[in-house]
Amino acid sequence: MALRPFVGKRGRQRTDLPPGQYDVGRDFPVLTAEVTPRIDTARWTMTVDGLVERPTTWSWDELHQLPETAYEGPIHCVTTWSKFDTSFAGIGVDVLLDAARPLPGASHVLATSTTGYTTNLPLDHLRGGQAWIAWTFDGKPLPREHGGPVRLLVPHLYFWTSAKWITRLTLLDHDERGFWERNGYHDLGDPWREQRYWGD
Ligand SMILES: Nc1nc2c(c(=O)[nH]1)N[C@H]1C(S)=C(S)[C@@H](COP(=O)(O)O)O[C@H]1N2
Ligand SMILES: [Mo]
């Protein structure tokens, strides 16, 4: 299928497309820098640690007892595809942070995957209903190649910050670059400000 940059599904110019992005339509590209892991949910855990009052670890079952919330909207990859009308569900990161209670000095977060992939975010960008620990896509279990059984979802930033196979959020009092951020990607990654690379 030929790509038609900047043109939406119905052939109209989209007004909700960040600069330099195109609408990928129904496709959902897979971008992974490492081998796709096979994760046993009986052994997987989610931890919030670092500068928090109560470092906390949840099992798969414990997380599923928390209130599920959904995200419906677009996602934007730095490689220039945007996907509209996506639908994810899981636990709001706010719920986990409220349980772990960030200490006053906490300003940044390093997210870590079971594979060792990392990505850094300002704490403010994980709060206020902006981020999820997501386990369904389109109402079905999140496919392995898209981070299943569970991934971080931070849809207002470029998608490299949405760490697949998430297992840990570590709160810090400084910014510590993750995998792509060490390799040239921007420390934040706001698609509307086109923060793709260092210096953008
Ligand atoms: N663990 C892990 N998470 C990751 C990546 C990765 O290589 N490993 N790639 C990132 C990048 S660059 C993008 S664009 C998205 C891609 O998610 P998708 O494969 O579901 O489209 O995942 C992000 N999360
Ligand atoms: Mo990406």
Read off the pLDDT of residues 130-184 as tens digits, 9 standing for 90 and up: 999 999 999 999 999 999 999 999 999 999 999 999 999 999 999 999 999 999 9
| Binding site membership of 162 for ligand 1 (Cβ less than 6 Å) | yes
| Binding site membership of 81 for ligand 1 (Cβ less than 6 Å) | no
pLDDT band at 92 (very low <50, low <70, confident <90, very high): very high
Domains and CATH numbers, the chain: 40-193 (3.90.420.10)
Q: Which of 21, 24, 31, 183 to mutate to test the pocket of ligand 1 (most atoms within 8 A of CB)?
A: 31
Report, as an integer, the average pLDDT of 109-114: 98
pTM of the model: 0.94
Q: Nearest to residue 71, comparing CAs of 83, 87, 85?
A: 87
Cα 56 from chain centre: 20
Q: What is the pLDDT of residue 145?
A: 98
The CA-based diameter of the chain, rounded to the nearest angstrom, is 52
Q: Which of 82, 113, 160, 167 to mutate to test the pocket of ligand 1 (most atoms within 8 A of CB)?
A: 160
Q: Return all residues near 1 (Cβ < 8 A) that are at least 6 apart.
A: 25, 27
Residue bearing the bigger pLDDT, 5 or 49: 49
**106 in Cβ contact with 114 (< 8 Å):** no
